[in-house]
Structure 1
Amino acid sequence: MSLNTWLVFVVTVFFVSATPGPNMLLAMTHGIRFGVRRTLPTIAGLLTALGLIMGGSAAGLGAVLAASELLFSVIKYAGAAYLVWLGIKTWRAPPTPLSGPEDSEAAVAEAGTGWQRFRTGFLVAMSNPKAFVFFTALFPQFMNPQAPQMPQLLVLAGTFYVIESSWQFAYAAGGARLRGWLNSPVRLRLMNRFAGGSFTAAGVALTTVSRA
């Protein structure tokens, strides 16, 4: 692909990734509650799922999902159910005061295990089957059909990966900076309601998504 085509792809992905969604919301809320360092397993889970989604799309899974109404619906409703469950859980969470430094005993207990945070990030990122179809539709728009496909796919996937991970770190860091300001029962309750409502809304919205 030409340099101009790649630059257009960079600009497109920059704004697509910046748009708040379940992935960025999760990075931000974990950044608020656990700090940036303890949010790294969450981001690792999000990015692992992203890599699988892009790999699956390149392998043709996106085309399969676009063609199979049943398979698309099964993944869609399973993902929607998980997001709604996560939203209700977050909404109902008590406004527990944020613990002190990230290395304190209370902070470690609140954060749980790294595996738990990784799993949450992975499941949230994998919850939307539309992502497979999105990559299947997006990447070819920027590829030169006359040139070898694999090098172009690697460049596009690598570019998307870097931009997406940068935004996730930015959201986590932004959340961590809000940690002190939010450390009051009223503000924490509002944060839990906002995050829980957003996850639930994303889950409900996912049920309306079609393959088109």
Structure 2
Amino acid sequence: MDLATLALFLPACFALNMAPGPNNLLSVSNATRYGYRASCLAGIGRLLAFAGMIALASAGLAVVLQTSALLFYGIKVLGAAYLVYLAVQLWRADPQAQAESTAAKVGLWALARQEFLVAAGNPKAILILTAFLPQFVVPGEPITPQFTLLGAMFLMLEWIAISAYAYMGLHMRRWFAEPRGKRLFNRCCAGLLAAAASVLLMARRA
């Protein structure tokens, strides 16, 4: 890959990584509830989901998702249902109980699994990667090494986005230190997750 292609890929990719979405919203919420470190480590689940999607795009298996309406809508409905479930959990969360649970050891495996399921439950993410990454593949050169390099850079920038959103959540945690503020923030996040579920349900195949 030449420097000109790299200069185009990096800013375009980072804009994609930093775009507000269910996973980035989850990073903010986790940071406010469990702290910066827990939120960043939970993001590993998202990276694993995206790595699988990049592998699918590289192997051309995403075409199956594009051609199978049943598979696409099945994943979409399950993903939206999970977002609604998270929204309900946040809406009903007790701020006082959160304060007590923060002091206790947080199950990072559960948080990482949550990130993985939110990412994996969005079939549009596979299609976006399928449409985005090939634009920067140089014709005439081996495809697999190029996809590997592009995918690695995508995941690296995604990790930066995870850290940035978690840092944002850490500062919001200070602003919403009181139980009333925590409840307000949780319910705002719940509303945004429910809205993301609605958008996902309306998504159509390209």
Amino acid of the structure 2 residue aligned with 1:142? F
Distance in structure 2 (CA, Å) of the matches to 1:107 and 1:71: 38
Q: Map Cα deviations across residues 76-109 of structure 1 (whole Å, 9 max, x no partner).
A: 111111111111211221233763xxxxx84243
Q: CA deviation at 1:138?
A: 0.9
Residue 21 (1) aligns with residue 1 (2): no
> CA deviation digits over 1:30-62, x for unaligned, max 9?
111111122233111111111111112212221
Distance 1:35 1:211 in 2: 37
Q: Counterpart amino acid of 1:50?
A: F
The aligned residue for residue 162 of structure 2 is: 168
Do structure 1's residue 191 and structure 2's residue 200 form an aligned pair?
no
TM-score (norm 2): 0.93
Deviations 1:150-172 (A, max 9, x none): 12111111111111110101111
Aligned letter for 2:50?
L
Tell me the amino acid that sits aligned with residue 118 of structure 2: V
Determine the C-alpha separation between the residues in 2 that align with 1:61 and 1:197: 34
The residue aligned with 1:66 is 66
**Letter paired with 1:107:** T
2:79 matched residue in structure 1: 79
Alignment coverage as a number of residue pairs = 206
Which residue of the other structure, out of 98, 102, 107, is the alignment partner of 1:107? 102
Structure 2 vs 1, CA of residues 106 and 198 (structure 1 numbering), >3 Å: closer, same or farther?
closer
CA distance in 2, matches of 1:54, 1:22: 19
Cα 1:41/1:199, change in 2 over 3 Å: same
* 1:41-60 equivalences in 2 (<5 Å): 41-60=41-60
- Structure 1 residues 108 and 185 mapped into 2: Cα distance closer, same or farther (>3 Å)? closer
Does 2:152 correspond to 1:158? yes
The answer as to 2:105 corresponding to 1:131 is no
Letter in 2 for 1:166: I
Output the CA distance in 1 between the equivalents of 2:48 and 2:142. Answer: 26
Name the CA distance, whole Å, in 2 between partners of 1:14 and 1:106: 34
Give the Cα–Cα distance (whole angstroms) in 2 for the partners of residues 47 and 146 of structure 1: 29
Partner Cα separation in structure 2 for residue 106 and residue 193 of structure 1: 18
Kindly report structure 1 stretches of 4+ aligned residues shifted beyond 4 Å: none
Q: Structure 1: any 5+ residue segments left out of the alignment?
A: 100-104
Superimposed CA distance per residue, residues 96-130 of structure 1 (whole angstroms, 9 cap, x where no aligned partner): 3763xxxxx84243x63121111111111111011
AA partner of residue 53 (structure 2): I
User: Kindly, what percent of the aligned residue pairs are identical?
Assistant: 39
Gap change, CA 1:204 and 1:106, over 3 Å in 2? closer
SS at match of 1:121: helix
Tell me the CA shift for residue 12 of structure 1.
0.5
Two-structure CA RMSD over aligned residues (Å):
1.6
* Residue aligning to 2:203: 209
**Structure 2: runs of 5+ lacking an equivalent:** none
TM-score (norm. length: structure 1)? 0.91
